[in-house]
Amino acid sequence: MTDKKPDYESLTESILAWARSETNIRAVVVIGSRARTEDHPADEWSDLDLLVVADNPILLIEGVDWLPKIGTPWITFTESTPGDEGYERRVLFEGGLDVDFAPVAAEEMRRMAGKPLPPMIADIFRRGARFILDKDGWAERFRPVQSDTPAVSAPSESDFLNRVNDFWYHTVWTAKKARRGELWKAVSCCNMYLKNLLGEMMEWNARATGGPDVDTWMSGRFLEEWADPKAVAALKDVFAKYNEEDLWRALRATMDVFHDLAAQTAARLKYPYPATEEEKARGLVEAMYSGRGKTLQAG
C-alpha cells in the first residue's frame, strides 16, 4: 500500500480542522487563483492564498508552533504583504504545497465592515474570495464584488514626469556604478529598479492605449497578455547577465524600450515629455560607455 501523495484538497481540510479548534481564528478566506473559477483559475502551479482573520494575528507571524498542527512544514518565512501594509507567513509544506497565510485582525475586519473597502482589499474580493470558515458571519458583509474591472485613474502629469525622470536619473546612476566596477549594484539596478519603473510604464501605456478599463492586474501578473506586444517581444533583450559588456547592452536596450512606451504614453495622455532630460541622460550614459577602460573618479 502506497502513501497518498499530499494535495491541496487534503491540506485545506487540515487547515480547516486546525482553524475550527483555535478560538483565536475567526475566519479563513481563500483568495487568489484557487478562489477564481473563470478568469485565470488555479492550475498545477498555483499556490494556496489565504486571508486568516484572527483576534491576535501576530501569533501567526511571530510563532511557528501552529504549523505542525496542519501538516509537515519544510520551509517557512515571513515577508511584507503587497503594499507593505503588513506581514504574511509563507509555508512550503510536505510535497511542495505552498500556502500563503495573510493574517488580518478581527478588529480591522469590524472597522471595514459596511464601509468602502481599501482599493487593494476591494480588488482581492472582486477577483474572487471564498470563505471556507466563518465563525462571525463575515461572508455576508464582505460579499465579493461582482462588477466589471474598475477603471484605474491615469497618473497625474506630475507623477508621470517624476517617474520618467526617476528612470533617466537611474540610467546614469547604473552607468556610473558599472564604470566604477560595482557590477553587483549596476546589474541590480538594471534588472530590478529600472525594470520596476519599466513595468509601471507598461501598465500606464496599456491603459492610456486601451482605455482605463484595461485590467493590468498587479505587480506584472499576466503582463504578456495585456502589455504592448512590441514591448513584450523586446523584454528578451533588457535583462543583464553578470558581466560588464552584457550590462551595457541590457541597459541601452532598456532605455530604448522605456523611451518608446513613455513617449507614446505622454502623447496619449497629452502630457509633455522630458526630452531634454532624456537627451542629457543618454549623453552621459553613452559617454561612459565609450570611455570604458579609462579611469572614472569615484563619486
User: What tens digit of pLDDT does each residue of 79-100 get?
Assistant: 988 765 789 999 999 999 999 9
Dist CA 109 CA 99 (whole Å) = 22
b (16+ CB within 10 A) / e for 80-109: eeeeeeebbbebebeeebebbbbbbbbeeb
Question: What pTM, to 2 d.p., does this model score?
Answer: 0.77
Dist CA 148 CA 215 (whole Å) = 10
The pLDDT of residue 150 is 56
The grid coordinates listed for 239 are 535583462
Dist CA 205 CA 260 (whole Å) = 10
What fold, for 8-141? Beta Polymerase; domain 2 (3.30.460)
| Architecture of the domain delimited by 157-290 | Up-down Bundle (1.20)
In the predicted model, residues of the chain with pLDDT beneath 70 are 1-5, 83-84, 114-120, 143-151, 293-299
The pLDDT of residue 2 is 47
Residues of the chain with CATH 1.20.120.330: 157-290
Residues of the chain with CATH 3.30.460.10: 8-141
Query: Which among 180, 162, 160, 175 is positioned nearest to 249, based on CA atoms?
Result: 175
The pLDDT of residue 84 is 58
